[in-house]
Amino acid sequence: MSNKPADLPGWISAVHGLSRLLGVVAALMILVSIFVVCQMVFVRTVLEESSVWQTEFVMYLLVAATFIGAPYILLTRGHVAVDVVPLMAGPRTRRALHLVGSLIALGFCGLFLWAAIPWWHEAFTSGETTPSIWRARMWIPTLAVPVGLGLLCLQYLAEIWLVITQREHPFGLSPDDRL
């Protein structure tokens, strides 16, 4: 089973490319968070000043990195998985397990996305800000939720399509992989 970019439909290549791009963005967000925490420690300990925005900024950035990076984690199978049952199952059962699990996950992500879009839109249209001195506009950090979930849903659809069309093995396990 080959999944070279030339063998994939355009929409799947686009979803994979966006997932990789957002994976890089999420990694950069984590890196920025590390630098901001170091800056905050310097400001508080060396300069003996209070931090106004750093804690809140890092908190929102790490949560955003989680949502933005989720499609990349699914693409690379970087999530925690227990392969005992799929390894014990035959190829047809393995495919069915993958399909059921992926559809449940897609349904959950879809419902979460459906709830997140109006939540983000309300923050955008109302001009809501954080209650801190920094008063960050809430639509900016909350935008990561529908963006990440939307691409995660597309990544699930791509994964389901690849397994159904037998271009990928379910769970990334070949039929020869057994316990």
Q: pLDDT tens digits, residue range 46-85?
A: 999 988 899 999 999 999 999 999 999 999 988 777 778 8
Q: How confident is the model at residue 89 (pLDDT cuts 50, 70, 90)?
A: confident
Q: How confident is the model at residue 1 (pLDDT cuts 50, 70, 90)?
A: low
Average pLDDT estimate for 12-35? 98
- Separation of CA 151 from chain center: 8
At residue 3, does pLDDT exceed 70?
A: no
| Residue 36: Cβ-neighbour burial (10 angstroms; 0-12, 13-18, 19+) | middle
User: CA angle at residue 63 from 61 to 66, to 5 degrees?
Assistant: 110
CA 60/CA 135 separation, integer angstroms: 13
Which range has the top average pLDDT, 70-74, 92-96, 131-135?
70-74
**What is the average pLDDT score of the chain?**
92
Phi and psi (nearest 5°) for 140?
-70, -55
CA 19/CA 152 separation, integer angstroms: 8
pLDDT in tens, 151-172: 999 999 999 999 999 999 888 8
pLDDT of residue 16: 97
Residues shown for the chain: 179
- The pTM score is 0.89
pLDDT of residue 12: 96
| Residue 47: Cβ-neighbour burial (10 angstroms; 0-12, 13-18, 19+) | exposed
Tokens at 35, concatenated: 């630098």
